[in-house]
Amino acid sequence: STTPVTPQSAQALSLQGIEHRFGANRVVKGIDLEIAPGEVMCLLGPSGCGKTTLLRIAAGLEPVQQGRVALDGHEVAGPNRAHLPPEKRSVGLAFQESALFPHLSVLENVTFGLKHLARRERIPRAMELLTQLGMADYAERYPHMLSGGQQQRVALARALAPSPRLMLLDEPFSSLDARLRDRIRDDTLHVLKTLGTATLLVTHDPEEAMFMADRIALMRDGRILQVGTPFELYCLPTDPFVVTFFGEVNELSGVVKGGEVATPMGMVKADWLEDETPVRVMIRPEALSVRQRARAGVEPHRHSHVIMAKLLGRSSLLHLCAHGSDGEEAHLHARVPGVYLPAPGEEVDIALDHSQVFIFPCRD
């Protein structure tokens, strides 16, 4: 279904044609991105791809060199308008090392951003956010009396308390240990969704992006490669880099013949590509299911065997050698659920889940 375009449905954030250079280094290369009201968008990508720079441009911390930034349909930086400073943009900011004011209590840190509210409304509002983030009991403490994770929660409460129209979060969970991180992510997402706050969250962690995001924008080298829901990026990737960014993949090469590509595990459909197109066949380790050979010698030309098996905990990783009907060999990693540790040399049958196989034409 489509939503009619009305003034009410103005995008919370709209970035158009954003370019950015540091000296001769072009770090943002023509980016367009829109965040709908209430939407959580994750900017995902490897270190140095320009995520933080783009976030800082949205916040007004970095001047716009080229392009246009609009909040709620109002241009705040661009050709038609001088740069609106960060404090006038109604955006909440929280960064990896968000510093709290050391001489103010937790409660005072959070009420600090509420000067626009009447005095008697400030404390209830601050306590509401501290409660939602599990920090109400610490209201009277000072920052140095808190753990890193607790400080992070207070920083989030401080950023959210003024009800910004847009939250900008740069790796807000990365300094936390894994268990704590999961809980704070959970609480933060809950608060963002309860308040309906549009959010742009920078992360280099694909799992964090999948958990937090309504949509993900995957960046590489200053450009956005794909924007979509976690499902779309994981299951319908439009670029080989998108596939590899979400985890290790097996890669084979092949050529399209009659709308198909031959692999040691059988034919894979590629009927949208012209015949004789050289292709990369990308196979997630989870796409391979492995079974002990039912009967020896059924298809002697297609026997595959185990090179090594390792237990990883919830899954087992198998290093396999697969033999195709044309006699070609392929070395593959398979990740199978549970404990499955066949001996090296054991013959196995390999089946392919075609929904986790991706084919891209080779580019040179």
* List of residues contacting ligand ATP (CB under 6 A): 22, 27, 45, 47-53, 204
Nearer to ligand ATP, 207 or 353 (CB): 207
59: how many CB neighbours lie within 10 A of its CB? 18
Q: How far is the CB of 64 from ligand ATP (least distance, A)?
A: 15
Q: How far is the CB of 48 from ligand ATP (least distance, A)?
A: 4
Q: End-to-end CA distance of the chain: give it in Å, rounded.
A: 39
Q: How far is the CB of 173 from ligand ATP (least distance, A)?
A: 13
Q: How far is the CB of 162 from ligand ATP (least distance, A)?
A: 25
Q: Find the DSSP H helices in the chain.
A: 51-59, 106-111, 119-132, 148-160, 178-195, 206-212, 230-235, 240-245
Q: How far is the CB of 268 from ligand ATP (least distance, A)?
A: 34
CA-CA distances (angstroms) from residue 323 to 109, 275, 284, 330?
64, 24, 18, 6
Nearer to ligand ATP, 27 or 42 (CB): 27
Nearer to ligand ATP, 39 or 171 (CB): 171
Q: Which two tokens stand for residue 95?
A: 């960064």
Q: Are strands 74-77 and 66-71 parallel, antiparallel or unpaired?
A: antiparallel
Nearer to ligand ATP, 199 or 304 (CB): 199
Q: How far is the CB of 181 from ligand ATP (least distance, A)?
A: 16
C-alpha dihedral, 133 to 135 to 141 to 143, nearest 10°: -30
Write the CB contacts of 188 (distance below 8 Å, at least 6 apart in sequence).
133, 156, 172, 173, 212
DSSP 30: E
Q: How far is CA 167 from the centre of its chain?
A: 16
Nearest residue by C-beta to ligand ATP?
52
